[in-house]
């Protein structure tokens, strides 16, 4: 029982804070609870399909293929593929992390994983189309052409500054996924 309480202590703490908020300011507490329920429903609808696709990715694509196209010796094709996969993705950013873990499990280069996460968060095709239609093509293209080098620079800096032991630990944890 104590182990279970320790595991869910943050959840229980937030639940307690929400209940206290409802006692102090009922309308604000109800609004906080409704936002939480909405976010939970959204997650429940998005996470299962992502895990199904991850299972298929894990089974259908051999490790050697992923290493060839996105591994340490992949070069520019690994970078381009990371951008394409990340940009074609749909869904919130928290969906990218399980995919990144499977990529790591398959031997994808660390900088390509970072590029994939950066592309998922900022260069998604649906987001680009929305921006082009609502804010104009000039704005959408400008933002895209600023973000692409930004993602590359951030990935390079992070992979250069991260110690090899830390990267190995991250990959080890991902292989347990």
> In this predicted model, what pLDDT tens digit does every residue of 15-70 receive, in sequence order?
899 889 999 999 998 999 899 889 888 888 888 888 888 888 778 888 888 888 89
Query: What is the maximum span of the chain, computed from C-alpha positions, in angstroms?
Result: 59
Instruction: Indicate the pLDDT class of residue 78, thresholds 50, 70 and 90.
Output: very high
The alpha-carbon radius of gyration of the chain (Å, integer) is 20
Q: Cα separation of 30 and 6, whole Å?
A: 27
pTM for the whole structure: 0.78
pLDDT confidence bin for 11, thresholds 50/70/90: confident
- Which of 35-39, 52-56, 114-118, 122-126: highest mean pLDDT? 114-118
Average pLDDT over residues 100-121: 94
Whether the per-residue pLDDT at 174 is higher than 90: the answer is no
pLDDT above 70 as % of the chain: 100
* Average pLDDT value for the chain: 90
Name the more confident of 90 and 36.
36
Tallying the residues shown for the chain, one arrives at 177
- Structural domain spans, the chain: 1-46, 61-175
Q: Choose between 118 and 51: higher pLDDT.
A: 118
pLDDT tens digits along 133-151: 999 999 999 999 999 999 9
- Give me the pLDDT at residue 160, please: 94
C-alpha 117/C-alpha 95 separation (Å) is 10
From the number of C-beta atoms within 10 Å of its C-beta (0-12, 13-18, 19+), residue 8 rates as exposed
Structure tokens given for 137: 């093509």
């Amino acid at each position: 029982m104590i182990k279970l309480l320790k595991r869910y202590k943050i959840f229980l703490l937030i639940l307690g804070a929400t209940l206290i908020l409802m006692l102090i300011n009922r309308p604000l507490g109800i609004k906080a609870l409704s936002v939480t329920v909405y976010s939970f429903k959204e997650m429940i609808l998005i996470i299962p399909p992502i895990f199904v696709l991850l299972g298929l990715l894990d089974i259908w694509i051999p490790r050697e293929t992923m290493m060839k196209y996105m591994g340490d010796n992949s070069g520019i094709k690994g970078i381009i593929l990371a951008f394409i996969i990340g940009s074609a993705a749909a869904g919130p950013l928290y969906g990218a992390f399980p995919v990144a873990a499977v990529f790591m499990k398959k031997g994808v280069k660390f900088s390509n994983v970072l590029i994939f996460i950066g592309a998922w968060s900022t260069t998604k095709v649906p987001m680009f189309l929305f921006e082009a239609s609502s804010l104009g093509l000039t704005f959408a293209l400008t933002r895209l052409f600023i973000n692409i080098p930004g993602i590359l620079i951030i990935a390079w800096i992070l992979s250069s500054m991260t110690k090899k032991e830390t990267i190995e630990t991250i990959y080890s944890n991902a292989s347990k996924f």
